Structure 1
């Protein structure tokens, strides 16, 4: 992995054993601190071309929401995952099974009325492309992905069999459920009866990812029954086993996504599309996303750097305009009409990368120029 490579996927966790389960799949790890203190590691999984970022946030939906938003705006991954353990709510789930959240229910909302709590459900479906990749990678009968579970201590009784994968809803809220007879369990049965497992972070994660427009998927391993037996099952090793199964599933899905997208990116259609010269309007729109482009002096600096990068001995021949939009249209036209438009576009991208290397606008410019 190239130092400083941009992660294409980010995997978020709440607990140390969840983090370590994901980390065990990665090599050549590189720590990256955010200016506000959040720390991630970026590494690569053998056989998968995508750099992957991993983070551990601690428990709770509010923390998950706040730091999910930070990861999206900071690292700008293409896809997001939250993985870890969960309590099973249905008898047909075995300890160690994996739940891929077809949707995430936030069960905490409601109105307390004289006749009881009136639920006000809020739910977020899984991103279609991620769910489809998960169905492809984790299809029943194709248990090769279980081989991604790292070798470790002997599995607890009954957990040595390959885990089954369930594409079902999760219930999520800031309560650790460990009782078979309580108001919350009754509420889940009445109002969120399709939920097969319960945990604490995925609602905040899914909400933040949805608001940020980033495709997301929650994947959980069943570590207990949420019925009072949690400490017994934890003591028998199911907590670590469930975290390992969920992490293995996530890494298999990321590998599947990388295969899908690599094939698409190198298809004849993609090659044809990338060879097309973008329109002047598209290039001007992309440049306008750089807020400093509103200033004439900044645009002059861009043109000077562009000339140097192209090793020209003569002016670019692009007339100045005080109106930013008019000037950007002239710049786009001048580059398109140059002797080698593709070289001019690569030079433009290089100049903007030097000036604003962390700007989200740089990603759009890269895509518009077909680089």
Structure 2
């Protein structure tokens, strides 16, 4: 019993130490970090900046300025999880933002969604991380390098930011998808809060889409979100991933991507800018 008491006390002491260490390590500044994977996505946000100023950190270009009354810092992560994690870490270390927002496109895996629709990521997960044993039991949890504990499979978005996005999107004028005839679809843009999964692959396979739906309940798939979410989760920085669909991640994904990417990028950027103005 005494040994159990000592172990319990040690556990709570370590938990307190980790919480204290987090508080000591990351002291945020009154600025919001905005990220996007592609130059075009980031350019849409930069166009709205008041008094933009360029800051280069280890070769990565960051742009500071204001959107409304909010100080922001904007950067392009580049494609893929490593690039996304690196840029996020540099932004957090150099600028100490209070929160991170990501704007970008994704492939839709929810059959009820089409290009142009938006998924507010209530949670994100790595779909290509794990270890398969001889018993075929996958381990999908990453490990926190700070606490040495397993991370959750799904990284939750900051609740306050998510609720703000759900409220603000009702006031944003989103673009419908252009039709082949040259008109615009009369179907309203659908916005949902759901699950976004991340992997270092461009998905263009109905079979993979079915797998992502079955294994993760995924509504969209992309290549950066969970990496950003993991960095923020481990440093306890609020984050939110916004994704607008450019395709349905099926066999026609490459064609749809080229056609619908501009509209999807604008819809995502519009929402993120509106969220910042509403902070």
Using the size of structure 1 for normalisation, the TM-score is: 0.59
Change over 3 Å in CA distance of 1:185–1:163 after alignment to 2: closer
Alpha-carbon distance, 1:7 to partner: 6.3
> In structure 1, what is the Cα distance between the partners aligned to 2:78 and 2:63?
16
Provide the C-alpha distance between the structure 1 equivalents of 2:187 and 2:165, rounded to a whole number of angstroms: 20
Residue number in structure 1 paired with 2:69: 49
Deviation string 1:42-97 (CA, Å, 9 cap, x unpaired) is 1223xx20122110121011111122111011111111011100000011112101
Q: Which residue of 1 aligns with 2:251?
A: 228
Conservation of the 8 A alpha-carbon contact between 1:85 and 1:239: yes
The answer to whether the 8 Å contact 2:35/2:101 transfers is yes
- Higher RCO, Cα 8 Å, sep 6+: 2
Following superposition, the deviation at residue 117 of structure 1 comes to 6.0
Q: How does 1:13-32 map to 2 (within 5 A)?
A: 13-32=36-55
Q: 1:62 to 1:186 in 2, by over 3 A?
A: same
Partner deviation per Cα, 1:298-324 (whole Å, 9 max, x = no partner): xxxxxxxxxxxxxxxxxxxxxxxxxxx
Q: CA deviation at 1:110?
A: 2.4
Which residue number corresponds to residue 236 of structure 2?
213
Residues 155 and 118 of structure 1, relative CA distance in 2, 3 Å threshold: closer
Match of 1:176 among 175, 186, 202: 202
Equivalent of residue 76 in structure 1, options 96, 107, 124: 96
Q: Is contact 1:22-1:244 (8 Å) kept? A: no
The whole-number CA distance in structure 2 between the counterparts of 1:115 and 1:75 is 46
Is the 1:7–1:75 Cα contact (8 Å) retained in structure 2?
Answer: no
Equivalent in 202, 206, 211 of residue 187 of structure 1: 211
Does structure 2 conserve the Cα–Cα contact (< 8 Å) formed by 1:61 and 1:201? yes
Query: Aligned Cα RMSD in Å?
Result: 2.1
Give the alignment partner of residue 129 of structure 1, picking from 140, 160, 164.
160
Paired residue total: 236
Q: 1:230 to 1:255 in 2, by over 3 A?
A: same
| Structure ranking higher in strand proportion | 2
Q: 1:30, 1:155 → 2: CA distance?
A: 34
1:244 maps to 2:271: no
Taking a change above 3 Å as real, the CA distance of residues 155 and 188 of structure 1, as seen in their structure-2 partners, is: closer
The answer on whether the counterparts of 2:53 and 2:63 sit within 8 Å (CA) in structure 1 is: yes
Q: Secondary structure at the match of 2:173?
A: helix
| Contact 1:119–1:191, Cα closer than 8 Å, also in 2 | no
Structure index of larger Rg? 1
**Aligned residue in 2 for 1:198:** 221
Shift of 1:162: 4.8
**Deviations, residues 112-157 of structure 1 (Å, cap 9, x unaligned):** 234646252521000111112112212xxx3x3227x7xxxx9622
SS at 1:21 equivalent: helix
Answer whether contact 2:65 2:71 (CA < 8 A) is retained.
yes
Measure how far apart 1:180 and its partner are. 1.1
Structure 1 residue 26, shift from structure 2 partner: 2.4
For 2:186 and 2:95, the matched residues in 1 are separated by 37
For the pair 1:67 / 2:94, whether they are aligned, the reply is: no
Q: CA deviation at 1:9?
A: 0.9
> How far did residue 27 of structure 1 move?
3.3
Which runs of structure 1 show a deviation greater than 6 angstroms over 4 or more consecutive aligned residues?
Answer: none
For residue 246 of structure 2, give the secondary structure of its aligned residue in structure 1: strand
Helix, strand or coil for the counterpart of 2:154? strand
- Alpha-carbon distance change, 223 to 160 in structure 1, aligned in 2, over 3 angstroms: farther
